Every structure is written in structure tokens, then in C-alpha cells.
Amino acid sequence: MRFYYPATLGLALLLARPALAQVPASASPAAPQLGKASLKEVLAALTPEEKVRLVVGVGFYPAGFPPGLLPPGPPGGDKLPEKVPGAAGRTHAVPRLGIPSLTLSDGPAGVRIDPIRGKDSTKTYYATAFPVATLLASSWDTALVRRVGVAFGSEVRAYGIDVLLAPGMNIHRNPLGGRNFEYYSEDPVVAGHVAAALVRGVQSNGVGTSIKHFAANEQEFNRMQLNSKVSERALREVYLRGFRIAVQQAQPWTVMSSYNKINGTYTSESRDLLTTLLRGEWGFKGLVMTDWYGGHDAVAQLKAGNDLLEPGTLVQYEVVTAALQSGQLSTAQLDQNVTRVLELVLKSPAFKGYQPTSAPALKANAAVARQAAAESMVLLRNQGQALPLQAGQRLAVFGNAGYQLIAGGTGSGDVNKAYTISVAQGLTNTGYNVSSTLGQAYAQYLQAEKAKLPKQRGILDPVPVIPEMPLPAGQLPDYAQNSDVAVVALGRSAGEGGDRQVAGDFTLTAPERVLLRQVSGAFHGQGKKVVVVLNVGGVMEVASWRDQADAILLAWQPGQEGGNAVADVLSGQVNPSGKLATTFPIVYDDVPYGQNFPGKLLDASAKGGGLMGAPAENTYEEGIYVGYRYFNTFKVAPAYEFGYGLSYTTFGYGPLKLSSATFGGKLTATLTVTNTGKVPGKEVVQLYLSAPKGKLDKPASELRAFAKTGLLAPGQSQALTFSLSAADLASFDTAASAWVADAGTYTVQAGASSLAIKQRATFTVPRALVVEKSRPLLVPQQPLADLKAGQMAPVGR
């Protein structure tokens, strides 16, 4: 693994090291103390050198990295004892002023720290692997996500971490995004509300979060030099909207800027993004930190409002010091950055003297992880009521993923967990009679294949795929004879460091196709059912093979308790109530501009491709038409649409009542949902809005609110209320630099998915409303036309 080492900063290393006044390291009684004296007094007491240290992290010294591979940290950083081994980042302490060091740690599905410290393995430091973000969003249940956040945050606190580097909330723009599992949805309203719920839960423990990666970081390709070219409208309506919701609803303690540029400027160096928009327009009160080694020009970052440079390098320390001395960086600017660091310190457990227990409630939190997973899995198909399975049935579990659960993705989104429960194990735990002959064959095969795999060199190395075990065709009739149902588990892993491929990743591999064909042939031949469990972190092609399965459960990457949660759903102990927060297209070529993903090198002869890579760009040509906004507006049928998901029961939707037929600044929509089936269940109701034809081109409909019922017994009803504000009606008019709601008739639609609209109601807006004025921000270098419905021919079809 190589790390990008900014060229101009490298040059600065050649310059003479600027010398700043040395200061006593220990507390001096006369010096003002943080928390006791005012911030102004503390600032005045800080030396310039201490100020520079406070905005540049201590460096990164992960175990197992050969010396010299990572850029060196600021002077002395490598000597500071590490408080939480494996945590990704730290800030400098200034003990004489009572300023402690903060510890920052990944990641989005659980605390990522080293499970073993030094040679002593008598005590372990495992963390709970919660389900990945994409699964949590499929719950559409903010109360559930908040509970996950509370449990998650309790581990952050117990381990002595001050800020969790999560949640990730970029947009599922394309199914091949390698880090999509770390993110929630293709829709910013879902992403924003779910992220806000997680932030509130985590922060209720008195620890911080860092919503990331701000923004337009939807691919890994050349990520540190990639320019995301996006129209202002698409940025505002799709890529920034979720962050805005999370900021305004939950005030995360920090935001992490992303690696990429937006329209020519690194996000970490963009004052438009970090100051004018985030702080000015949205009212963010916290600190902004870089992504690890992100950006290019440390001084520009501080000036933009990126207060903390993580993990911190010697070069950054040198460059900022020199800029302070030359006046290129003003003391006033640095003081503002330092103030934000100090405000963060004041809130932290480290400052408050919390003594980490390193003993999180792993057992209780595993139960939370299991419940969240079971409540969020999406039942995609259930022909002839193949599910739920009957108690005590004989099951034959096929597929590597049936025996080796993929709990989550890789890279910084991975978690060092104590165990994982496989699908076969979970079904056994639930009382099913799972074929042990087949289990043994898989165990032997997987053990032999694992021994052949190359050794992982680092966390960004992709996990090598073990091909599906070839099944002797002659044995299948026996398995079918001796079992009631076949369960075929198919797995996918991806993560930081690369994007996914179409062949054999988005689509099935050849051995997977053979497996499905054989199992389905043998079992269906004997009148037995086939259930497919998808243990995946991202969207897959399902249309070409789904007919071979009676039922398909999308289990996502469900965290360490995944196998138990799958069994909860397959057995009917939990009635599935998850719905897709991201579209499943029929074929990859249906994804708008999918052929242009993940972007192109600016110099075709450059050796790019990797993380640090070479200068590259990716144009978000589809504009606002991301996910269902595209599929539903351009009438491209998906395999499973946004918002889709089945249940073991059925629901009736009563009439949709609006508080007024004319919009007067606010409106409520009410509707009653009834469980019309035979078993208890929960329903997610989605509220979409269609705008009248006006000056701007608009998607067919856009999600504006959602709610989930409680567990409704058969016959039981629940009234749900949604509210719509003027902002919910508005689109961003780039020419006017304003959010504008056109005059005319709006249609509110209550749906069981984006296509299964159950009830409609209309209201009018008598005169166009200018909801919010802004000014041109993050403007593309060359104009990017906003795409118009009907004008776009998707590439590849």
C-alpha cells in the first residue's frame, strides 16, 4: 500500500525547518486550564507551536506497517504512547493547559481497534460487528437505528474513544461503488434520517461522531485525485441533502471531508463547502477533519474551515508553521481552527476524565445487532409461500456463504469481532435439522481452499474469493431426497480500496450459476423448495436467475449475529419488514451512465487505478436522476424497485387525508394502515411527492417522508402522520441560486414502494415560493447541463 504524499508539501520538507519557541510539557499552576479559564484565555496562553500541533494529528503508526511506508508524523508523534491500539487517529495534548489528546476510531459497523494488544492475548478487545449501513437503512426504522447507535456508542465510550469515524453517508449512485455497504441509500432523505438516528444514538453516550465522506465520494477509483464533476442542482438535491438533514437534526460533533475534489477543488480545501454551506447555510457547529492523508494543501484546508488534519504528517506541521510565520496563514484563522478543536476536546470523555473500562456489554449488544439485522432484511421473493419454513424441517444448506458468514465489508469499515454466526449455524440454533454431511463437505473444502489463499498484506487488500464448491451432480438427488428445503447462500465482499466489477460480482459467477441450476433442478424435481439467501454488501443482478428460487431473502451483510437473524426471518419468528433503500436493476446496463463509472484518468498513459492513483475525473452525467429518480421517471423497469419488500402478512391502506387542500407553509398527511393478513407484521409507508410541471425538470416523484408501523396484530390498525414543509416542495433552481417551489397542483402518494402507490391526494400552491436564497457555490468548471426527462438515452441499452 502506498500513501499519497502531496507534492508541494514534499517540497516544503526541503526547506529549513522553522523553529518555534519550546514550551514546558507539564502543567504549570499559573497557566490557564481548559474548562476552568475561558477559551480566549487558553488561546492566548497557547504558543504558536502548540496551536499548530492542535490542528495537525499526531501521525499514524499502525502495527505491522514497515517503517517508511507511511508519511512521518509531526516531531515526537511516534513517541507518544498509544491509548487505544488500532484506533485510526489522535490529536495532540497540551498537558500544561489541561488539554488531553483525543482518540478517533473507525468505523461504520462497529468499533475497529486491535483485538489483541502486544503479546498478551489473555485479554481481548473485541467489538460488536453490527449490521452494515445498507442493511440498517433497509429497516426504514429510525427508532431501531437509534437503539443500534446507543449500543454502538457504549462500546466507543467503554474503549476510551472520543470520536467515532462514522456514519458514512455517501449516496448509492452506482451498484459498483466499493464502499456502498458503508452507506445507506440512493436517496438522501433515507440516508439523512437514518444517519441522524445513528448519530443521536451514538452521541447519547457522551462521545462524538464524524459523518463522512463530505461529499460526492461515491467511488474508490483514484480517490485521492479524483474530480467529481457534478451540477450544483444534483449536489444540493442529492449528494448534500442527506448531510444537511443529519447536521440539522443531530448536530454530529464532527464532519469528515472526503478525498476527492468537487468541480476542481478538493473538498477539504473548499470554503464554499465547509464554511459557506455547512456552517453558514446549515448551521453546523462542530469541527471538520480531513479523511486520512486527504487533500493537498494544508494551509488551504485550514483556511477553508477544515480544522483538523488527520492523521497528521510532518510535512503538514512544517508547512503550517511556515505559513504562520510568513503571514500566509493568519493567527485569526488558526485561532478559529484551534477553537473548534478545543470545543471538541471540552465535550470529550478524555477531557471529562472518563476511565475506559475496556469491557463493553458485548452480549447485550450482540442481541441488539441480531434484532436490527432481522428487522431490516428484505424478502425479495416468496412464491407459493415457500417461507416461513415449518419448524423442525430438514434443510440442506448450499453455498460457501452458508458456512462462512460475511458479516460486513472490508477496509476501515471492517470490525474485529469475537465470532460470526453462519447461516447453517443459525438455522441449527433455531431447531432445524441441517444436513451435517453437506456441512462437513463444505467445512473440508473451505479449510483446504483457505490454506491456498495469499496472505492479506493490509486492511485494504481485497478478500480473495473462494469459488463455490463443485457438487458431485450424482449426490444432489440424495440431498433432495433427505431434505425438505434447500437453502442456497450466496456471498459478496467489497470494501475500501476498490470498486466492484460487473462480471462475477454484480452478476453471478459461473460456479454460482451451476450451483443454483443443479440445486434447483434436483429439489424442484422432487417437489421441494429452494430458498436463496443473499449475503451481500451491495446490489446484485437477480433477474436472470430468480425463477430458480422459490424465495429470496436479501440478508445484506448482517453483522456477527447474521446467521441467527437469517434463521429468525426464515422461521417466521420475525416477520420481514425491511424494504430496499436502493434499486435492484434488471441488468447493469440499465444503470444511467453506468458505462462511465467509476470515471477516467485525465492522462490515459498515467498509471492510475488505485487509491492514490493519478489525476482522474468522474462526471455525474445523470444529474439528479440517481436511483429511482431515474428508473421511475424514464420508465426503466427495475428487478426490484426502491422501497420494495415483502412480508408474511398483507396490509391495507386507508384514504390519505391532507390537513389542507392549499399549501400554507406546512401540511400534514394522515393515513391508517391495517394488517389484513394472518400473522403480526410491520409496514413501512413511504410518502412521495410529484411536483407540477414548471420551469425545472422534475423526477416523476421523490421520497419526502417515511414511517414504520409498530408490530400490528392481524386486524389491527395504526394511524401514521407525515408532515411536509415548504422545503420539501422545493427544487434547486441553479439560475436563481434558490430553492423554489413552483405554483400548481402537487400529488402526495403513499406507497408500499416507489412503484406500489396505494393512496393519493393533491394540494395546490397558489403562487411560486422562494423557499431559500443562496448564491452560486461549488460551480462546475464547465457548465453541466441539468438532464431533462425524456432527453437522456442511458448508455448501453
In whole angstroms, give the CA distance from residue 490 to residue 320.
50
Biggest alpha carbon–alpha carbon distance for the chain: 86
Least separation, in Å, of the C-beta of 407 and ligand BGC?
18
Which of 162, 291, 550, 742 is the catalytic position? 291
CB-nearer residue toward ligand BGC: 412 or 582: 412
Contact 730, 771 (CB under 8 A): yes
CB of 291 to ligand BGC, least distance (A): 5
SS3 390: coil
> Of 410 and 718, which CB lies nearer to ligand BGC in the complex structure?
410
Helices 142-158 and 188-203, interaxial angle, to 10°? 40
Choose between 260 and 674: whose C-beta lies nearer to ligand BGC: 260
Site for ligand BGC in 161-180 (CB under 6 A): 165
Of residues 69-88, which lie at the interface with ligand BGC (CB under 6 A)? 88
Asked if 83 and 61 count as a contact pair (C-beta separation under 8 A), the reply is no
Tell me if 750 sits within 8 A of 670, measured CB to CB: no
User: What b/e readout covers 122-160, taking b as 16+ CB neighbours within 10 angstroms?
Assistant: eeebbbbbbbbbbbbbbbbbbebbbbbbbbbbbbbbbbb
- Judged by CB under 6 A, does residue 106 bind ligand BGC? yes
Residue 60 CB, shortest distance to ligand BGC, in Å, is 8
Please tell me the chain's helix, strand, coil percentages from 3-state DSSP, rounded to the nearest 5. Answer: 30, 20, 50
CA distance 450 to 447: 5
Rank residues 183 and 644 by Cβ distance to ligand BGC and give the closer one. 183
Restricting to residues 197-226, name those near ligand BGC by CB under 6 A. Answer: 212
Could you say which residues in the range 128-167 bind ligand BGC, by CB under 6 A?
165
How is residue 400 annotated by DSSP? Answer: G
- What is the C-alpha separation between 5 and 295, in angstroms, rounded? 10
Rg (CA), the chain: 27
By CB under 6 A, how many residues form the interface with ligand BGC? 8
- Identify the three-state secondary structure at position 89: strand
CB of 72 or CB of 578, closer to ligand BGC: 72
Q: Which is nearer to ligand BGC, 96 or 223 (CB)?
A: 223
Residues within window 402-441 making contact with ligand BGC, judged by CB under 6 A: 412
Q: Are 278 and 774 contacting, i.e. CB atoms less than 8 angstroms apart?
A: no
Using CB under 6 A as the binding rule, whether residue 345 contacts ligand BGC is answered as no
Q: Is 292 in the site for ligand BGC (CB under 6 A)?
A: yes
Angular region, 725: left φ>0, alpha ψ -120 to 50, beta rest: beta
Does 291 engage in binding with ligand BGC (CB under 6 A)? Answer: yes
x/- mask, ligand BGC, residues 496-515, rule CB under 6 A, reads x-------------------
Indicate the SS3 state at residue 143.
Answer: helix
x/- letters, 235..274, toward ligand BGC (CB under 6 A): ----------------------------------------
Q: Tell me, what amino acid is at 492?
A: R
**Residue 291 annotated among the catalytic residues of the structure:** yes
Q: Note whether 395 binds ligand BGC by CB under 6 A.
A: no
54 in contact with ligand BGC (CB under 6 A) = no
Q: Which is nearer to ligand BGC, 3 or 445 (CB)?
A: 3
Please state, as a whole number, how many other Cβ atoms lie within 10 Å of the Cβ of residue 470. 11
Number of residues assigned to the chain: 797
Residue 237 CB, shortest distance to ligand BGC, in Å, is 24
In terms of CB distance, is 426 or 497 closer to ligand BGC? 497
β-pairing verdict for 757-765 and 769-773: unpaired
Q: Kindly tell me the burial class for residue 564, based on how many C-beta atoms sit within 10 Å of its own C-beta (0-12, 13-18, 19 or more).
A: buried
Indicate which residues carry an active-site annotation: 291
Contacting residues toward ligand BGC, per CB under 6 A: 88, 106, 165, 212, 291-292, 412, 496
